[in-house]
Amino acid sequence: MNVNEEKKKWLSGLSVDELKIVAAEVGLRPFAARQMADWLYKKRTAQVEAMTNLSVAARQRLQELGYVVGRIEPIQVQESCDGTKKYLFPTLGSGAIEAVYIPDGERATLCVSSQAGCKMGCRFCMTGRQGFQHHLTAGEILNQVLSIPESERLTNIVFMGMGEPMDNLEAVLRAVEILTAEWGLGWSPTRITVSTVGVVPAMERLLRETKVHLAVSLHDPFGEERHALMPIQNRYPIGKVVEALRKFDFAHQRRLSFEYIVFDGVNDSPRHVEGLTELLRGLNCRINLIRFHAIPDSPLRGVAPERMRWMNGALNAAGITTTTRSSRGEDILAACGLLSTLAQK
């Protein structure tokens, strides 16, 4: 499903420096860039016409040059019995994307997508099974945040939706900059978590250039077994990923977590607990255990609740802070690993 915006130029997703170039194009002074940013990211306007502290001539010129704010409303919403909502968005390229809104008391998290589809091919993920369509622009990433009805209520954002954020790093960095800049949405970076399967060079750059939290998809401490679940292991072995992470400081505000989906008879043994303990020894981190949500035609199976409790206890006893993530939105296919817009292609 597409939005016919190819000839339009989005203002949303541009930095202040880029907006200065736009301002010059339409005959405005550089300070007008801050005015536009205020309209785009603080006032959250959806129309160029609403930017009333720009001259009428400048607004008309923006439109003549093909500039639009850059908003796409969701075309579908599904609500889970637990209050989770899954939004479907058209994109500027082929395919569609999904974003998931997760309310939890005073906390309200949006799980955003960074790509339409995904190249990584993880065996337990419906998005990976879908394959890759295209990268999202920074504007399309921000659009998920700005265009849902609950936008003003959000307290946290996680880049854990469709796609591998490190595979679209430039757009993700730009979106994070706008989310956290004082001229943008002004969020603390501690409200944002970015996930990765372990694309080391991009991961290191994200850690150098931002202060957001990082979540690494681990799922098995042993290389050959992890490769059977995650083809990325062949290019970036988990040992090398952890070695790269040891160069960074996670002892203060920034948090490092490892995501670990538990599969029955695959990665849930005492041997795996020992392997995780050895792999992560001395690293300031936590493990999030995640229940596997079955996908069609997959031999993988989740474990019983008592097995999850055992693994949680065993890892904590071994000295690794471990939590078990609550499953949300499974009835609307919004839970971890279930996002797919294959039917929308």
- For residue 307, the surrounding DSSP H or E stretch is helix 305-317
Structure tokens given for 195: 């996930």
Closest to 82 in 3D by CA, of 98, 107, 104: 104
Which of the following is catalytic: 98, 140, 164, 259?
Answer: 98
Which of the following is catalytic: 111, 118, 122, 336?
Answer: 336
CA distance 147 to 91: 13
Structure tokens given for 65: 């040059």
CA distance 137 to 311: 39
Do strands 85-90 and 76-79 pair parallel, antiparallel, or not at all (unpaired)?
Answer: antiparallel
CA distance 99 to 309: 29
Structure tokens given for 155: 């307290």
Buried b (16+ CB within 10 A) or exposed e, 17-47: eebbebbeebebeeebbebbbebbbeebbbe
CA distance 192 to 174: 13
Phi, psi of 157, deg, nearest 5: -130, 135
Whether 5 is catalytic: no
**How many CB atoms lie under 10 A from the CB of residue 326?**
11
CA distance 232 to 17: 36
- Residue 91, CA distances (Å) to 145, 232, 261, 316 in order: 14, 26, 29, 42
> Do 172 and 206 meet the contact criterion of CB atoms below 8 Å apart?
yes
Whether 182 is catalytic: no
Tell me the residue type at 183. W
Active site members? 98, 336
